[in-house]
Amino acid sequence: MSQVTSPQQLAYIAGQAADARVNIELETEGMTLNIGPQHPATHGTLRVIVRLDGERVVAAEPVMGYMHRGYEKLAEVRTYPQVTTLVNRIDWLGSFANEVPFILAAERLMEVEAPPRAKWIRTALFELSRIANVVLFLGDMGVQLGAITPVFLAFRDREFVLNQIESVTGGRFHPNFDRIGGLKDDLPKGWIEETKGVLDRIRSFCDEMETLVAGNEIFQSRTRGIGVIPADIGLSYGLSGANIRASGVDWDLRRDSDVGLAHGELDWKVWTHPDGDSFSRYWVRLQEVREACRMVEQCLDGIPAGPIMAKVPRIIKVPAGEAYVETENPLGVMGYYVVSKGDLVPYRVKIRSASFNNVSITPWLLKGVYVPDVISILASLYFILGDIDR
């Protein structure tokens, strides 16, 4: 497949890059360039070492770990509500979605099921966090490619979604709202009507993005045919989410697995695209935002009346056992493997984060592309550093 990853070659690259201060090396065979860790293009502190020949990439290697915060170790000494708070901060753009698989895993161990009202509101908030996350991507891919206006429009319209999340949970970015057995509190009066108004704004934002970015010929000539990921290669690297659906693989955990959210009772469709290039990844995510708006609307219309929390003891001690739950988060498939020994704190929490696998394809993908295309490809893969490094 690729002869990039021979240890000697990597050692050479690493040696060159480790010394990447300001020095001018006009080697005619290749120049080693360090993209990051401080760089406007990488979403955070990702370092990509590329070896260039003129403007073509010969070899590339991502170096992760600049933002490692030790979540899995911290989780060993935190009670379940405290871990819920911590876990918000993994994928900080769509943060409610991080809590959901963890809470579902703990509920599976406790053999507690959340009441239907909690299930539906959980799904609505889950899809709202997907909207908040992917709306930023739609604007951000523009700015990676040079169009500075879409990202401001994205932030503007994302504010409305965050305000809605704040009205319910109290926090815009870190809701900390999911509890074992249900949700912390119920919806305030008027929230459903307001949220429907916000969804209209998001729909008009999607139309704007389609005109301003996706329909732009310059954008299309920068992204069509760039960074093509064949379906089998993508699956073998463990890509998930919109990245793999843009290569034609019809796989979505919301439809294909039943974890305890209300997706099975909603009417929605999974979007795929046959090419596997950067443009199709953008397009699939654009359609997913529109689909998420439809889903939230159906959720809001169908919330059943009832309690918001099942009967759980005040001090939660999860019985011994292990459970693995994965859900279709905005970035991809996120899973929590919770091992409990019957304590107040989990014994071990293993977090399967989507972006870690999404970034692992970069050595294969970046071979032979131009430097500007490196940025376009990294932008289209859409990773969040908190998700990669945890």
Partner 1 sequence: MSRPTLKLPGLLKGLGVTIRTLFRTITRGAHTVQYPRVKESPTPRARGVIALHEENCTSCMLCARECPDWCIYIEGHKYLAPPRRPGGKPRQKNALDRFDIDYALCMFCGICVEVCPFEALFWTPEFEYSEPRIADLLHDKSLLGKWMETVPEFEDYEPGAEVKKAKVPR
Partner 2 sequence: MNTLTFAIELAYWQQTTIRAIVGLVAVLIPAGTLVYLFLFKMMSFMQSRLGPMEAGPYGSLQLLAEVGKFLQKEDVIPRQADRVVFKAAPFVVLISTFLLVLVIPAGPDAIFIDIDTGIFLALAVSSISVIGILMAGWASSSKYSLLGGLRAAGQLIAYELPLVLAVMGVVIQAGTLNVQGIVMAQAEGEIFGYGGIGNPFIFTQFLGFLIFLVAVQAELTQPPFDMPVAESEIVTGYLTEYTGMRFLLFFIGEFATAGIFSALAATLFLGGWYLPGFDPSDNLFNVIGPLVLMGKVILVAFLIFWFRFTYPRFREDQLQTLAWKVLIPLSLINIVITGVLKVLV
Q: Are 286 and 147 in contact (CB under 8 A)?
A: no
Mode of pairing for the β-strands spanning 178-179 and 182-183? antiparallel
Select the residue interacting with partner 2 from 222, 245, 281, 390 (CB under 8 A).
Answer: 222
Report the distance separating Cα 295 and Cα 127, nearest Å. Answer: 7
What are the angstrom distances between the C-alpha of 237 and each of 14, 91, 191, 328? Answer: 23, 21, 41, 17
Binding mask 146-185 for partner 2 (x = CB under 8 A): xxxx--xx--x-----------------------------
Choose from partner 1, partner 2, none: what does 372 bind? Cβ within 5-8 Å by kind: partner 2
Q: Which does 79 bind (CB under 5 to 8 A by kind): partner 1, partner 2, none?
A: partner 1
Nearest-angstrom CA–CA distance, 78 and 74: 7
Q: Which does 249 bind (CB under 5 to 8 A by kind): partner 1, partner 2, none?
A: none
Contact between residue 55 and residue 71 where contact means Cβ atoms under 8 Å apart: no
- Enclosing H/E stretch for 143: helix 116-144
Nearer to partner 1, 16 or 376 (CB): 376
Site for partner 1 in 218-237 (CB under 8 A): 218, 220-221, 224-225
Q: Decide if residue 345 touches partner 1 (CB under 8 A).
A: no
Q: Which does 328 bind (CB under 5 to 8 A by kind): partner 2, partner 1, none?
A: none
Each residue 313-342 as x (binds partner 2 by CB under 8 A) or -, in order, gives ------------------------------
The yes or no reply on residue 264 touching partner 1 (CB under 8 A) is: no
Closest distance to partner 1 from the beta carbon of 384 (Å): 19
Site size for partner 2 (CB under 8 A): 35
Say how far apart CA 61 and CA 359 lie, in whole Å. 10
Cα torsion 361, 52, 139, 39: sign: positive
8 Å CB contact between 88 and 184? no
Quote the tokens at residue 168. 């319910």
Q: Is 254 within 8 Å of 266 (Cβ atoms)? A: no
CA distance 287 to 206: 8
Q: Which residues bind partner 2 (CB under 8 A)?
A: 20, 22-25, 31, 33, 39-41, 55, 142-149, 152-153, 156, 212-213, 216, 218-219, 221-222, 370-375
Q: Which residues bind partner 1 (CB under 8 A)?
A: 78-79, 81-82, 85-86, 117, 149, 153, 156, 159, 163, 166-171, 174, 176, 184-192, 208, 211-213, 215-218, 220-221, 224-225, 303-308, 370
